[in-house]
Each structure stands twice: as structure tokens, then as C-alpha cells.
């Protein structure tokens, strides 16, 4: 925990009033979440300015505030509230996260980035390392230039930090790298997620690999050798460890688990994952390679993988009476959609239904990517295809030729109506689409209202 004195040092701010020795217990950017002991950090958004909610934050218990405009200081503010003036509250937040990371540089950190699979990789690594260590782990999607410093600001007495680093604009990785300064970094892949914002995969590759510039300590970089970009990466300043799906053998896939063999400390061991999807095999291999860097016992590593719990809405299996739903709606990218469809193809069931919606943030590449994605239907066995959205129509127009039944719907309500009309006993229904498409609302409705 930092004192106001340390916050002043980290942000180069000015104390308007208050006690420099006051200890801050937490950091909030939402006034509604403030409680006693917190520092409120008002950020400016597209539609509002957090400064307008300072009084609300104080009413909810915060004991200190950052402020960039003193005109927003309430006239009746108590002199017990510490006020730190800074030039920019977002920059100050990032500086606080960076300062606390430096203060606790003895706590080694692991950063996970990549176009797809950051969260599931993070959770697998955490499941393994938590068998031995007390961890600070990124919560939810707090992985960007706002969320990451809020996480590193919480470093205190943990053994290790496991942080997800996600970027939405050019230059963001430089901000994140300076905050997290990882000892180990993982890059899962270089895909086309957010390509509409970055412009090309080459730029995405450059931005993701920038994390290597900020490695300290062990200076280990784990790269997915199956990725056409990452397998070519070279950097003499870091220790590169490659991993691949080919590190696994004797893979056995069931409808709710995966078993395979891979090396732990150079000896083949049997591994079980209580989840589906080949990406989880790769995640387990990454976790093993990191656990080896911390000399974890083989038994703890194996148990950590077996205890892994799939993240909500990421290939989540939902048994709905006599119908099985695979909820993969947390978000969507071309590669995760393709991987999800391949996983469904490998499962044994009576009939397979794929419900797909738009993949967002592809910009001018959207038509091309949705069209290209349709080619997977030539190689997999999907009985029914149901789609809704604008750009998914490009996929639908081609993919419909490779399925027994197909439906293009105007919206999610129409898609839900079709699903209810056609679903039968022992069907498997796979749902995928970007968050903005709200595909998950169909699942929620089915769970609430489905009758045998």
C-alpha cells in the first residue's frame, strides 16, 4: 500500500490538502465502487468526466482524491480528505501503477499478450502457479492502459504477479510494458483481432513483440512456434522459449475433457484438462514451461492443470436438459472462431448447430476475413448454420453450401426463434460472435425459458 507521500513522488503531483502519511488501501475510477480507505481517480471519458462524481466518491467513503482541475473541488469538502492535484489523472494512474511495481520489484511478474487466448492462458498459468505461490492475477478484462495499472497498484505481499496485457491502439504496449516490467512474457499468437484499428498484421506483430523491450530479471519470452509470425522472431537480448501443439502427443478428446502426454522436466507425463478445445492443450504446455522456471514439483503442475476451470463464456459447456450448449461468446476473432468450430467438429453428438454472428473491429478487412473464414465449412461437419449480423452474411453466402440446413437472420431475436423451432434431443449448439453482437442473450434466454 502506498502513502500519499509516495503517490506525490510517483505522480509528481501537488498536495492541495491532507496528510502525506495517509495510507491508501485501494484505487477506484468508478465513484460508485468507492469505499473507506480508497483513492478516487476521476478519468475523462467520451461522454462524461469523472470529476463530476467526486462528491459521490467521498460520500461512499474514499479518503483521498486525485484531481486535474481544482474547479471541481466541492466547496463543502472535509479537510480530512487528501487532495492531490496532477496534470492528467490517467497519466497519474499509470504512474501509480508503475511506481508500485518498482517498489515491489522483488515480486516477479509474468505478462501474457497476443491476439487471441490471453485470458485462458492467464487462467491456466494461474491455476498451476497457485499450487505453490500466492498470486496477484489480472481480474476480468483489466488488461489495458487503465486496467493494468489498477492491478499493479495492488502488488503488496504476493509471491508472483500474472498480468494480462491487451492493446487497442499503436503505442499502448509501450505504456503497459513500462508499468508491468515482466520477468517472463508470453505471446500467444499474432492474429487479426482489432486489425481495423491497427491496419495490418505486421503492425500488430510489431506492437505485440514490443513487450520484449521491457523484460527484466529472467528476461524469458515464450513464443508460439505454430504462429507464422512468432516462429521467425529473433532477439538476442532475451531468452526465447518456443512452445507448440506438437509438444503434445497421444491426444484423446471427449465431450468434456482432454487427455494427452507432454514433457515435464524432460520426462513424458500424462495430463488431463477438464475443458475442451485444443487451445487448452497449448495453454497447459505454456503453464508447464513457466512452472519449470520456478522449480515447481511435477505433481503440483499436473494437479494445477487438472484443477483448471474454464472461464465463463469461453467454450463453456452448458447442459440444458437434453441439449448441450457450447457458450463461446465472450468475444470473437477469426482464429478463435475457426478453432471453436474445429473443436465442435471433433465432438461426438447427434447433430451440430453453429450459431454465428459478426466478428467486430475488422475495419476494411471485414468482408475478406468473413469470406475466408467460410472455407472451414468445407472441412468440418456442421449440420445446421444459423447466422445474424451484417458482415457474417459474407460467410453465410458460401458456408451454406456445405451444411444441411442454413438460416440467415436479421437479428438475435429471429435467430433465437429459429433455434427454438428446430432444436431436438441430443443436439449440440455452438454460439460464437463478438461481444457487441450480444449472442449470449440468446443463451441466457434459452437457459431461463427452455422447456423439455
Asked if residue 392 and residue 367 are part of one domain, the reply reads: yes
Asked if residue 118 and residue 83 are part of one domain, the reply reads: no
Asked if residue 164 and residue 289 are part of one domain, the reply reads: yes
**Domain harbouring 44, CATH code:** 3.40.1390.10
Mean pLDDT of 72-89: 96
Domain boundary pick from 306, 336, 355 = 306
- Residue 443 contacts residue 449 (beta carbons within 8 Å): no
Mean pLDDT of 88-114: 98
Asked if residue 386 and residue 338 are part of one domain, the reply reads: yes
- The per-residue pLDDT for range 398-413, each reduced to its tens digit, is 999 999 999 999 999 9
Binned at pLDDT 50, 70 and 90, residue 450 comes out as low
Mean pLDDT of 263-284: 97
Binned at pLDDT 50, 70 and 90, residue 90 comes out as very high
Asked if residue 177 and residue 70 are part of one domain, the reply reads: no
Domain boundary pick from 272, 306, 340 = 306
Beta bridge partners of 323: 320
Asked if residue 229 and residue 254 are part of one domain, the reply reads: yes
Q: Is residue 311 part of a domain?
A: no
Asked if residue 369 and residue 402 are part of one domain, the reply reads: yes
Asked if residue 393 and residue 328 are part of one domain, the reply reads: yes
- How many domains does the chain contain in total? 3
- The per-residue pLDDT for range 310-321, each reduced to its tens digit, is 888 899 999 988
> In the chain, pLDDT over 90 holds for what percent of residues?
95
Nearest to 154 by CA among 209, 201, 107: 107
Q: Provide the residue count of the chain.
A: 452
Residue ranges making up the domain that contains 184: 104-306
> What pLDDT was estimated at residue 311?
81
pTM: 0.93
What does the alpha-carbon distance between residue 31 and residue 267 come to, in Å, rounded to a whole number?
Answer: 52
> In the chain, pLDDT over 70 holds for what percent of residues?
99
- The per-residue pLDDT for range 334-367, each reduced to its tens digit, is 999 999 999 999 999 999 999 999 999 999 999 9
Q: Is residue 164 part of a domain?
A: yes
Asked if residue 181 and residue 109 are part of one domain, the reply reads: yes
Q: Is residue 408 part of a domain?
A: yes
Across the chain, what does the average pLDDT equal?
96
| H, E, C per residue of the chain | CCEHHHHHHHHCCEEEECCCCCECCEEECCHHHCCCCEEECCCECCCCEHHHHHHHHHHCCCCEEEECCHHHCCCCCCCCCEEEECCCHHHHHHHHHHHHHHHCCCCEEEEEECCCCHHHHHHHHHHHHCCCCCEEECCCCCCCCCHHHHHHCCCCCCCEEEEECCCCCCCHHHHHHHHHCCCEEEECCCCCCCHHHHCCHHHHHHHHHHHHHHCCCCCEEEEECCCCCHHHCCCCCCEEEEECHHHCEEEEECCCCEEEEEEECCEEEEEEECCCCHHHHHHHHHHHHHHHHCCCCHHHHHHHHHCCCCCCCCCEEEEECCEEEEECCCCCCHHHHHHHHHHHHHCCCCEEEEEEECCCCCHHHHHHHHHHHHHHHHCCCCCEEEEECCCHHHHHHHHHHHCCEEEEECCHHHHHHHHHHHCCCCEEEEEECCHHHCCHHHHHHHHHHCCC
**Domain harbouring 341, CATH code:** 3.90.190.20
Asked if residue 136 and residue 248 are part of one domain, the reply reads: yes
Mean pLDDT of 388-407: 97
Amino acid at each position: 500500500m502506498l502513502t500519499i507521500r509516495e503517490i506525490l513522488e510517483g505522480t509528481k503531483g501537488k498536495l492541495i490538502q491532507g496528510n502525506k502519511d495517509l495510507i491508501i488501501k485501494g484505487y477506484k475510477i468508478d465513484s460508485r465502487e468507492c469505499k473507506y480507505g480508497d483513492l478516487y481517480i476521476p478519468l475523462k471519458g467520451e461522454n462524461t468526466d469523472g470529476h463530476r462524481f467526486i462528491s459521490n466518491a467521498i460520500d461512499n467513503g474514499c479518503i483521498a482524491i486525485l484531481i486535474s482541475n481544482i474547479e471541481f473541488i466541492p466547496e463543502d469538502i472535509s479537510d480530512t480528505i487528501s487532495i492531490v492535484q496532477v496534470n492528467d489523472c490517467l497519466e497519474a494512474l499509470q504512474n501509480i501503477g508503475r511506481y508500485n511495481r518498482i517498489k515491489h520489484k522483488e515480486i516477479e511478474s509474468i505478462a501474457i499478450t497476443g491476439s487471441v487466448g490471453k485470458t485462458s492462458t492467464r487462467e491456466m498459468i494461474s491455476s498451476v502457479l497457485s499450487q505453490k505461490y500466492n498470486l496477484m492475477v489480472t481480474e476480468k478484462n483489466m488488461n489495458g492502459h487503465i486496467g493494468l495499472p489498477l492491478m499493479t497498484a495492488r502488488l503488496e505481499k504476493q509471491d508472483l504477479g500474472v498480468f494480462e496485457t491487451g492493446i487497442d491502439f499503436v503505442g499502448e504496449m509501450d505504456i503497459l510494458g513500462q508499468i508491468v516490467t515482466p520477468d517472463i512474457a508470453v505471446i500467444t499468437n499474432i492474429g487479426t483481432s482489432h486489425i481495423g484499428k491497427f491496419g495490418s498484421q505486421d503492425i500488430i506483430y510489431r506492437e505485440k513483440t514490443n513487450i520484449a523491450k521491457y523484460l527484466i530479471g529472467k528476461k524469458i519470452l515464450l513464443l508460439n512456434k505454430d504462429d507464422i509470425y512468432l516462429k521467425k522472431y529473433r532477439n538476442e537480448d532475451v531468452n526465447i522459449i518456443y512452445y507448440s501443439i506438437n509438444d503434445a502427443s497421444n491426444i484423446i478428446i471427449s465431450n468434456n475433457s482432454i487427455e494427452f502426454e507432454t514433457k515435464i522436466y524432460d520426462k513424458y507425463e500424462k495430463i488431463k484438462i477438464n475443458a475442451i478445445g485444443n487451445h487448452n492443450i497449448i495453454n497447459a504446455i505454456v503453464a508447464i514451461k513457466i512452472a519449470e522456471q520456478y522449480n515447481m514439483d511435477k505433481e503440483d503442475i499436473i494437479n494445477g492443470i487438472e484443477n483448471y476451470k474454464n472461464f465463463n463464456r469461453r467454450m463453456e459447456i452448458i447442459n440444458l436438459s437434453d441439449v448441450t450448449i457450447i457458450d463461446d461468446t465472450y468475444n470473437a476473432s477469426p482464429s478463435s472462431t475457426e478453432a471453436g468450430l474445429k473443436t465442435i467438429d471433433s465432438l461426438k453428438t447427434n447433430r451440430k448447430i453453429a450459431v454465428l454472428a459478426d466478428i467486430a473491429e475488422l475495419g476494411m478487412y471485414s468482408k475478406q476475413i468473413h469470406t475466408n473464414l467460410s472455407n472451414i465449412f468445407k472441412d468440418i461437419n456442421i449440420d445446421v448454420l444459423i447466422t445474424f449480423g451484417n458482415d457474417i452474411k459474407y460467410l453465410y453466402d458460401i458456408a451454406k453450401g456445405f451444411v444441411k440446413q442454413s438460416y440467415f437472420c436479421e437479428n438475435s431475436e429471429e435467430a433465437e426463434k429459429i433455434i427454438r423451432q428446430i432444436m431436438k434431443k441430443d443436439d449440440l449448439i455452438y454460439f460464437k460472435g463478438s461481444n457487441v453482437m450480444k449472442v449470449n442473450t440468446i443463451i441466457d434466454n434459452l437457459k431461463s425459458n427452455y422447456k423439455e
